[in-house]
């Protein structure tokens, strides 16, 4: 079995994101970037499945500028076998990423595709679903547990009501939740070995796909600042304020 894992380079989750003064986006200059956290869970799960003997090869793929390769390199350091980097500059939307992945799937013919449930930068939560539609494959989103059966997967999903367990036939797409596993650390020797693993570079423009953005971004701004709270002396005062000032009761 072959698993394709899609990873994305995003602003590190510890960094306080700052909106550009002119409202055209957020500041990425001099900002620490990392792999999108649930993508780490996707890689970890693929590696676990390979370690259990149920998969033969893990291919990590990313779409983005030159530096996005770092995320593939990190995936290689924790157990992916080889990498693919689709070089694209500028904004790239989930639909475009799905189309690119579809092309690569046609070529690579994986049995499973894993990725994070959504990216922490744009929070779209679309790529997995769109890819499933394009490929006409079954999908299991928000996976917090994956069991590999003979020709199917049993996937526990994190849904609003609680947990939902479904079975999907292979080939399938799974988008991973943070609860799925605890990603391992890359060890020094593995980081060194990863430097020697191959990353195939493909220029996005050579795939013959229309990857133009479909969404026009009008403005990016910070959420309004929360007003400072006040202390009330009694329950009566609280009720009075909720009624007359906040007008919520």
Partner 1 sequence: MSREVMEYDVVIVGGGPSGLATAIKLKQLNKDINVCVLEKASEIGAHILSGNVFETRALDELIPNWKELNSPIKTKVTNEKFLFLGKKKYLSWPTWLLPKVQQNHKNYIISLANLCRWLAEQAEALGVEIFPGFPASEVLHNENGSVKGIATQDMGLDKEGNKKDSFEPGMELHAKVTVFAEGCRGHLGKQLIKKFNLDEGKDPQQYGIGFKEIWEINENKHEEGLVMHTAGWPLDNKTYGGSFIYHAENKQIYLGYVIGLDYKNPYLSPFDEFQRFKTHPAIKKIIEGGKRISYGARALIEGGLQSLPKMFMPGALLVGCDAGTLNMPKIKGSHTAMKSGIIAAETIFEHLRDKKDLSIYEDKFKNSWLYEELHAARNVKPSFNWGLILAIIFTGIDQILFKGKLPFTLRHKHSDHETLKPANEMPKIEYPKPDNVITFDKTSSVYLTGTNHAENQPVHLHLKNPELPIKYTLDKYDEPAQRYCPVGVYEIQLENNLPKFIINSQNCIHCKTCDIKEPSQNITWVTPEGGGGPKYGNM
Quick check: 193 binds partner 1 (CB under 8 A)? Answer: no
Total Cβ atoms within 10 A of residue 144: 19
Residue identified by tokens 């995936």 is 75
SS3 231: coil
Which of 60-68, 142-150, 168-176, 178-186 is the region at the interface with partner 1 (rule: CB under 8 A)? 178-186
Nearer to partner 1, 28 or 102 (CB): 28
Minimum distance from residue 34 beta carbon to partner 1 (Å)? 8
Minimum distance from residue 217 beta carbon to partner 1 (Å)? 22
64 and 92 Cβ atoms separated by less than 8 Å: yes
Minimum distance from residue 195 beta carbon to partner 1 (Å)? 9
Among 12, 121, 122, 154, binds partner 1 (CB under 8 A): 12
Q: Residue 171: is the preceding peptide bond cis (ω within 30°)?
A: yes
Among 165, 185, 214, 240, binds partner 1 (CB under 8 A): 185
Rounded to whole angstroms, how far apart are CA atoms 46 and 40?
10
Q: Measured over all CA atoms, what is the biggest interatomic distance in the chain, rounded to whole angstroms?
A: 70
Q: Please give the residue ranges that form the binding site for partner 1 (CB under 8 A).
A: 12, 14-16, 18, 21, 29-32, 34, 181-185, 187-189, 191-192
């Amino acid at each position: 079995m072959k698993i394709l894992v899609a990873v994305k380079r995003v602003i590190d989750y510890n960094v306080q994101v700052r909106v550009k003064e002119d409202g055209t986006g957020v500041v990425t200059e001099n900002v620490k970037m990392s792999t999108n956290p649930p993508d780490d869970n996707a890689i970890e799960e693929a590696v676990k499945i390979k370690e259990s003997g149920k998969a033969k090869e893990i291919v990590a793929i990313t779409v983005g500028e030159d530096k996005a390769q770092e995320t593939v390199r990190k995936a290689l350091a924790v157990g992916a076998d080889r990498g693919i980097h689709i070089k694209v500059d500028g904004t790239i939307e989930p639909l475009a990423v799905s189309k690119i992945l579809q092309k690569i799937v046609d070529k690579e013919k994986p049995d499973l595709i894993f990725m994070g449930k959504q990216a922490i930068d744009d929070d779209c939560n679309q790529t997995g679903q769109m890819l499933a539609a394009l490929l006409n494959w079954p999908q299991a989103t928000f996976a917090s547990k994956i069991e590999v059966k003979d020709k199917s997967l049993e996937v526990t999903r994190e849904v609003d009501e609680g947990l939902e367990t479904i079975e999907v036939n292979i080939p399938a797409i799974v988008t991973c939740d943070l609860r799925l596993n605890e990603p391992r650390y890359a060890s020094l020797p593995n980081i060194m070995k990863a430097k020697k693993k191959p990353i195939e570079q493909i220029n996005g423009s050579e795939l013959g796909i229309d990857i133009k953005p479909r969404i026009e971004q009008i403005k990016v701004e910070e959420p309004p600042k929360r007003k400072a709270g006040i202390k009330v002396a009694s329950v009566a005062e609280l009720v009075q304020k909720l009624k007359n000032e906040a007008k919520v009761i």
